[in-house]
Amino acid sequence: MDISSKSFRPAERIADLGVSEILAITARAAALKREGRPVIILGAGEPDFDTPDHIKEAAIAAIREGQTKYTVLDGSPAMKRAIRDKFRRENGLEFRVDEVTAAAGAKQILYNAMMASLNEGDEVIIPTPCWTSYFDIVRIAGGVPVAVPCDDSTGFRLTADALDAAITPRTRWLLLNSPSNPTGSAYGENDYRPLIEVLNRNPHVWLMVDDMYEHILYDGFRFVTPAALDTGLRNRCLTVNGVSKAYAMTGWRLGYAGGPAPLIAGMAVVQSQSTSCPSSVTQAAAIAALDGPQDFLAERTASFAARRDLVVDALNAIDGITCRKPEGAFYAFASCEGLIGRATSQGRRLDSDRDFCAWLLEAADVAVVPGACFGLSGYFRISYATSEQELREALARTAKACAALMHQTEN
Chain residues binding ligand PMP by CB under 6 A are: 45, 105-107, 131, 177, 181, 210, 212, 242, 244, 250, 255
Min separation Cβ 254 and ligand PMP, Å? 7
Are 396 and 380 spatial neighbours (Cβ–Cβ below 8 Å)? no
Min separation Cβ 164 and ligand PMP, Å? 24
Residue 52 or 255 with smaller CB distance to ligand PMP: 255
Min separation Cβ 268 and ligand PMP, Å? 18
Residue 191 or 211 with smaller CB distance to ligand PMP: 211
Are 108 and 74 spatial neighbours (Cβ–Cβ below 8 Å)? no
For ligand PMP, the nearest residue by Cβ is 105
Min separation Cβ 331 and ligand PMP, Å? 9
Residue 192 or 213 with smaller CB distance to ligand PMP: 213
Residue 218 or 330 with smaller CB distance to ligand PMP: 330
Residue 100 or 401 with smaller CB distance to ligand PMP: 100
Residue 290 or 321 with smaller CB distance to ligand PMP: 290
372's CB contacts (< 8 A; 6+ apart) are 352, 353, 354
Residue 23 or 399 with smaller CB distance to ligand PMP: 23
Q: Is 117 helix (H, G, I), strand (E, B) or coil?
A: helix
Residue 327 or 365 with smaller CB distance to ligand PMP: 327
Min separation Cβ 179 and ligand PMP, Å? 9
Are 135 and 143 spatial neighbours (Cβ–Cβ below 8 Å)? no
Residue 328 or 344 with smaller CB distance to ligand PMP: 328
Task: Tell me, rounded to whole angstroms, the distance of Cα 332 from its chain centroid.
Answer: 13
Any idea of the CA torsion for 146, 152, 156, 162, to the nearest 10 degrees?
-50
Strands 379-383 and 331-335: antiparallel
Residue 67 or 250 with smaller CB distance to ligand PMP: 250
Min separation Cβ 6 and ligand PMP, Å? 34
Angle (deg, nearest 10), helices 106-117 and 133-140: 40
Min separation Cβ 134 and ligand PMP, Å? 8
Residue 105 or 378 with smaller CB distance to ligand PMP: 105
Min separation Cβ 324 and ligand PMP, Å? 18
State residue 403 phi and psi, 5-degree precision. -60, -40
| Ordered DSSP codes for 196-237 | HHHHHH-TT-EEEEE-TTTT-B-TTPPP--GGGT-GGGGGGE
Q: How far apart are CA 43 and CA 403, in angstroms?
A: 22
64's CB contacts (< 8 A; 6+ apart) are none
3-state SS string over 58-69?
A: HHHHHHHCCCCC
How many Cβ atoms are within 10 Å of 137's Cβ, its own excluded?
23
Are 229 and 207 spatial neighbours (Cβ–Cβ below 8 Å)? no
Q: Is 364 helix (H, G, I), strand (E, B) or coil?
A: helix
Min separation Cβ 133 and ligand PMP, Å? 7
Q: Is 84 helix (H, G, I), strand (E, B) or coil?
A: helix
Are 179 and 186 spatial neighbours (Cβ–Cβ below 8 Å)? yes
Min separation Cβ 61 and ligand PMP, Å? 23
Min separation Cβ 239 and ligand PMP, Å? 13
Q: How far apart are CA 82 and CA 67, in angstroms?
A: 17
